[in-house]
Amino acid sequence: MSKPFCIVTDKGHAVRTDVLDRYVLKEGEISRQLRDDQFSEFYGQLGLVPPLYNPTTLVQLLEMNTYHYRCVTTKARDVAGLGWELRPLKENPSEKERARLDEFFSGIVPSLSIVLTNMQKDVEAIGYGAIEVIREDYDPDNQPVNLAHIPAHTLRIHRDGNRFLQQRGARKRWFKLFGWDKDVDMETGEVAGLGEIPAERRATEILWFVNYSPRSNYYGMPDIIPAIGAVHGDISRRDYNISFFDNYGIPSYAVFITGNYDPGEENPDTGKTPLEESIESHFKEIKNKPHSTLILSVPSTIGDGDVKVEFVKLSNDIKEASFRLYRQDNRDEVLAAHGVPAYRLGITETGALAGNIAQEATEIYKRSVIEPRQEIIEAVLNRALVWGAFGVQDWEFRLAAIDTVDEEHDMKVISMLFDMGAMTPNQIIRYFASRFGLEPVDHPAMKAHYIKGTPIDLDEGLVLPQTQAVEETLQRLKGILSE
């Protein structure tokens, strides 16, 4: 079908197709400019290295797209926010060393998990992150007493790779790379021998984390960069809905006019031709007087006057579906860039296989996205702090892994196996012990198999006194399996 002459909306407006074209989402028209960098005047002056992308702009991107924000916060939490532990590296490790480490990591304010999670949010959002290490009395020979998160978008690295400048408003503060054998003046950035700068002016140290990019030896690149077009496309979709539908309403009819017709001269005040005004006037009248007859006169040009007018009703479902599909495409691109399965964000996928692939997708996400990031954090903290600053060799720092077990699915399977006589109560307890605090009971009734509650492998003459412990445990099992 040819291009319609105009679109008539539910508000009675006749909108020419060239007006519609101005609202079409065009990739080439999306602004990709970066905002001013507050460090721009200092890069050459102070020897700072500019990052690949403006960090302030990338931080603001979090506020523009729900899925990008959720991916960043979800990954940061899954990587660093689920807890930590100290694991022994050999038999009979020193408990005294473990106590020292535990006292340090547990004493971090607000908490180690919060500090690491905020740092990881920076890595996911802008490509790099930083943790400040504070030593006792600011003495480079003393052990660390606290860790603190530094908002990474306020930091830039010096070209020597050992110094960092933080700027907030007009205030500046210098830091140095953890373990560098030089002192740095925190106010001026000047370098001196270790211990030569007074403690009150000595810069503290930074642990530096990056999401590696081959384009930079100093900064990393966030995962969202390849999908920025999708983020801006979704913003344009939103703005299209707001601007077009608020101004004109929802398209209801497409008006096709073919043949030798004359639309007339455009009215400079309204921007509409007489033919458009006639169509608009008639539809507004029909809106006020439903079921009335529409009589439309279309002026023809020289010829036989064979003019055909056709009104095609537009389906709102189709239009709304197209917007939903466009948004879903943008969403899927953002999720793919981050490597986060939709299930992890609480998004339910429909389809025959959706429920079957949730656990597999989460397991892939754990191994390909979360664990490599955890390994980076663990390696830095172990080498710099555990084995370095504290000199502890018997223990290592480890982050807690995400739980990919589908508990509801396991409950259903085990309940079915129990009713079929395939599992004993004690076997079920051993499976769920860590989750519900149950313990196996040394009693024949707990070692037997049951079908629909009836034991099938007990000696017929065996008397089974139902002790209180057995009765309570069986009742708890029934309650767990029936939830």
Do 254 and 212 belong together in one domain? no
Task: Write the CB contacts of 18 (distance below 8 Å, at least 6 apart in sequence).
Answer: none
Q: How many domains does the chain have?
A: 3
Task: Please state the three-class secondary structure of the chain as a single string.
Answer: CCCCCEEEECCCCEEEHHHHHCCCCCHHHCCCCCCCCCCHHHHHHHCECCCCCCHHHHHHHCCCCHHHHHHHHHHHHHHHCCCEEEEECCCCCCHHHHHHHHHHHHCCCCCHHHHHHHHHHHHHHHCEEEEEEEEHHHCCCCCEEEEEEECHHHEEEECCCCEEEEEECCEEEEEEECCCCEEEECCCCCEEECCCCCHHHECCEEEEEECCCCCCCCCCCCCCHHHHHHHHHHHHHHHHHHHHHHHCCCEEEEEEEEECECCCCCCCCCCCCHHHHHHHHHHHHHHHCCCCCCCCCCCECCCCCCEEEEEEECCHHHHHHHHHHHHHHHHHHHHHHHCCCHHHHCCCCCCCCHHHHHHHHHHHHHHHHHHHHHHHHHHHHHHHHHHHHCCCCCEEEEECCCCCCCHHHHHHHHHHHHHECCCCHHHHHHHHHHHHCCCCCCCHHHHCCEECCEECCCCCCCCCCCCHHHHHHHHHHHHHHHC
The residue out of 224, 255, 283 marking a domain boundary is: 224
Residues 220 and 249 in one domain: no
Q: Select the highest-mean-pLDDT range: 23-27, 59-63, 393-397, 439-443.
A: 393-397
Residue 480 pLDDT > 50 = yes
| Together in a domain, 257 and 191 | no
Same-domain check for residues 124 and 174: yes
Write out the two tokens for 37.
């960098």
With CA atoms as reference, report the closest residue to 94 among 399, 392, 397.
392
Q: 51 and 20 in one domain? A: no
Range of the domain at 439: 407-482
The answer, yes or no, to whether residue 40 has pLDDT greater than 60, is yes
Residue 369 falls inside a structural domain = no
pLDDT band at 173 (very low <50, low <70, confident <90, very high): very high
Q: Are 114 and 188 in the same domain?
A: yes
Tokens of 87: 């694991």
Query: Is the model's pLDDT at 34 over the cut of 50?
Result: no
pLDDT in tens, 401-436: 887 665 566 667 777 777 788 888 888 877 666 556
Question: Do 96 and 133 belong to one domain?
Answer: yes
> Would you state the pLDDT for residue 197?
96
d(CA 464, CA 452) in angstroms, rounded, equals: 18
Same domain flag for 270 and 150: no
Residues 48/159, Cβ–Cβ less than 8 Å = yes
Residues 6+ apart with CB under 8 A from 389: 133, 135, 143, 144
Residues 6+ apart with CB under 8 A from 10: 249, 250, 251, 252
CA nearest to 228, candidates 73, 64, 375: 64
How far apart CA 79 and CA 385 sit, in angstroms, is: 19
- Render pLDDT for 373-390 as a digit per residue (tens, 0 to 9): 999 999 999 999 999 999
- Whether 271 is covered by a domain: the verdict is yes
Dump pLDDT digits (tens) for 319-376.
554 556 667 888 889 999 999 998 888 776 655 444 456 677 888 899 999 999 999 9
* Domain assignment present for 272: yes
Average pLDDT, the chain: 80
Do 446 and 462 reside in the same domain of the chain?
Answer: yes
Q: State pLDDT tens for residues 93-146.
A: 999 999 999 999 999 999 999 999 999 999 999 999 999 999 999 999 999 999
In a domain, 63, yes or no: yes
Q: Examine the fold and report which residue of 292, 321, 350 is the final residue of a domain before the chain moves on.
A: 321
Q: Does 386 reside within a domain?
A: no
Contact between 29 and 21 (Cβ < 8 Å): no
Q: Provide the pLDDT for residue 300.
A: 66
Q: Is residue 357 part of a domain?
A: no
Among residues 169, 189, 224, the one where a domain terminates is 224
pLDDT for the residue numbered 213: 93
Q: Are residues 157 and 261 in the same domain?
A: no
Claim to verify: residue 214 and residue 240 sit in the same structural domain: no
Position 391, amino acid:
G
In a domain, 125, yes or no: yes
Query: Is there a contact between 219 and 212 (Cβ–Cβ < 8 Å)?
Result: no
More confident of the two residues 248 and 121 = 121
CB 211 within 8 A of CB 222: yes
Between 250 and 135, residue with greater pLDDT: 135
Rounded-to-integer distance, Cα 170 and Cα 49, Å: 19
CB neighbour class for 1 (10 Å; exposed up to 12, middle 13-18, buried from 19)? exposed
**Is residue 390 domain-resident?**
no
Statement to judge: residues 67 and 158 lie in one domain:
yes
